[in-house]
Structure formats: C-alpha cells, structure tokens
Amino acid sequence: MTSPRYKRVLLKVSGEALMGSGQYGLDSGTVSAIAEDIAAVARLGIQVGLVIGGGNIFRGVSGAAAGMDRAQADGMGMLATVINALAMQNALEKAGVPTRVQSAIPMASLCEPFIRRRAVRHMEKGRAVIFAAGTGNPFFTTDTAAALRAAEMGCDALLKGTQVDGVYTSDPRKNPDAERYDALTYLDMLSRDLAVMDAAAISLARENKLPIIVFNIHEPGAFTAVMKGEGKFTTVH
C-alpha cells in the first residue's frame, strides 16, 4: 500500500450530496456510504475534519429571494448544517470512527462549541471533527467555512467532494465534450469563474497555500484513492 501523502485533511461535502435521489433532506443510505469512505481514510491514519453544507434543507439566498431578511435566513441555513452534521456523526460512529461535532454557533446540549485547539487535539487522538454552523456568520458559505477551518487546523489539503470527478471546462452532465482539468491554479479558478467553489473560499485557500482537490464524493472509494494520489480528481494550487 502506498504510504499516505497527507497527515490531516478537511473534506467539504455539500448538503445536496446527502439527498441521494431525493429532492430534499437526508438519504440515510447516501450518508452511510459517504461515512464508510471517510472511515476508510481515517483507517489509513489520516486525520479528517469535515464541513457539511446545508443546501439540502435550507439556503439563505433562497429565503432572501422569497422576501426574508438575509441574515435571518442565513441563520436558518447555518442551523441546517448542524442537522447534517449530527446525521453524519451518527453515520461515522456506526462506521467505527469516533467523532465530535463542533458548532460555530454554540448549542451546548447537542455538540461542542468550536474551540480550535480542542479540535486539533481531537484530531490528533484520531477523532473526526465535523465543523457545523459554517463560519457562524451570515453572508458566508460553507465553502468559505471549509477553507477557514482547513487553514485554522493546519490541514494539508482541502477536499471538495462534488457530483463529478473534478473540474471540467463546462458541466459534463450537460455537455458531453466537456474536458476535465488535471490541475488548475487558484487564479484560473477565479478568472474562469468555474463555479466549483465561491471566490472567498478560493482566495482564502490561495492566501494560505492550501491545495484544493475536487473529486466525486459519490464514487465508492474515491476519497481513499485521492488520498493515495490515485483515481480521477482535479488539483487546484
């Protein structure tokens, strides 16, 4: 077996990735399948942090579009990420990975508050840490929260698990001629507006020299393969 190239990584999973074939909410089989892949990476001895989005339940921009105050709607979006975090904690523990949820919005009876040094300690002890409630601030996304936590935790890479196996010239599900990039620079991502991560997240990664690796979260074993430098993915650095 190839020895792990990474010591500590942060995986961002969008809320929509947890819906399975549904249109809303959580599909337990999909959550379990992703948890199994994360467990396989943890068994390689790689420390794993997670940020999970909330788009399968509520997005602040949708609330604002329907006439809500944006900051209020974003509060609801952040709470949605906590629901997903608790679902993933359950699935990870069933898969044998001790897990802690730390929320940017304290809710003491459900999970720990975000305390950076405590999170580092958990990861050093082999516990997966799920960072919930995004950054804790409205007007941000969980992509930005993922880049922020990855930088704070000293992660070696930010993994973005998407519906396709990397960054393409255009949406490969709509355009059969779309080609996958093996590697891109942060500036390529920003200037070509490739819609894989928001600009704030890419800028934060760039400032902190944090490589972003985009891969297909629904391909069984893909997370492990990427950690070994195998399989299909796009690296942004």
Q: How far is the CB of 152 from ligand UDP (least distance, A)?
A: 14
Residue 103 binds to ligand UDP (criterion: CB under 6 A): no
Residue 102 near residue 131, CB atoms below 8 Å: yes
Report how far residue 56's alpha carbon sits from residue 87's, in angstroms, rounded to the nearest whole number: 13
Is the Cβ of residue 16 or residue 156 nearer to ligand UDP in the bound state?
A: 16
Which residue of 74, 103, 210, 217 would you call a contact of ligand UDP, by CB under 6 A?
Answer: 74
Binding span for ligand UDP by CB under 6 A among 29-37, 86-94, 137-145, 215-223: 137-145
Structure tokens at 125: 């002890």
Report how far residue 94's alpha carbon sits from residue 34's, in angstroms, rounded to the nearest whole number: 12
Which residue of 31, 47, 55, 235 would you call a contact of ligand UDP, by CB under 6 A?
Answer: 55
Residue 77 binds to ligand UDP (criterion: CB under 6 A): yes
Distances (CA, A) of 104 to 39, 74, 81, 101, 187: 24, 13, 11, 10, 29
E-only strand ranges, 69-211: 99-103, 112-113, 128-132, 157-162, 183-184
Residue 211 binds to ligand UDP (criterion: CB under 6 A): no
Is the Cβ of residue 44 or residue 200 nearer to ligand UDP in the bound state?
A: 200
Q: How far is the CB of 105 from ligand UDP (least distance, A)?
A: 10
Report how far residue 132's alpha carbon sits from residue 86's, in angstroms, rounded to the nearest whole number: 9
Residue 161 binds to ligand UDP (criterion: CB under 6 A): no
Residue 25 binds to ligand UDP (criterion: CB under 6 A): no
Is the Cβ of residue 67 or residue 176 nearer to ligand UDP in the bound state?
A: 67
Residue 49 binds to ligand UDP (criterion: CB under 6 A): no
Which residues does the annotation place in the binding site?
12-15, 54-55, 59, 74, 135-142, 162-163, 168, 171
Three-class secondary structure of residue 138 per DSSP: coil
Bridge partner residues of 235 (DSSP): 183, 213
Which residue of 49, 134, 161, 166 would you call a contact of ligand UDP, by CB under 6 A?
Answer: 134
User: Which residue's CB atom is positioned nearest to ligand UDP?
Assistant: 53
Which residue of 54, 161, 166, 211 would you call a contact of ligand UDP, by CB under 6 A?
Answer: 54
Burial class of residue 115 (count of CB atoms within 10 Å of its CB; 0-12, 13-18, 19+):
exposed
Q: Find where tokens 């602040």 sit.
A: 60
Report how far residue 137's alpha carbon sits from residue 211's, in angstroms, rounded to the nearest whole number: 24
- Residues that bind ligand UDP in the complex, under the rule CB under 6 A: 14-16, 53-55, 59-61, 74, 77-78, 80-81, 134-135, 137-138, 140-143, 145
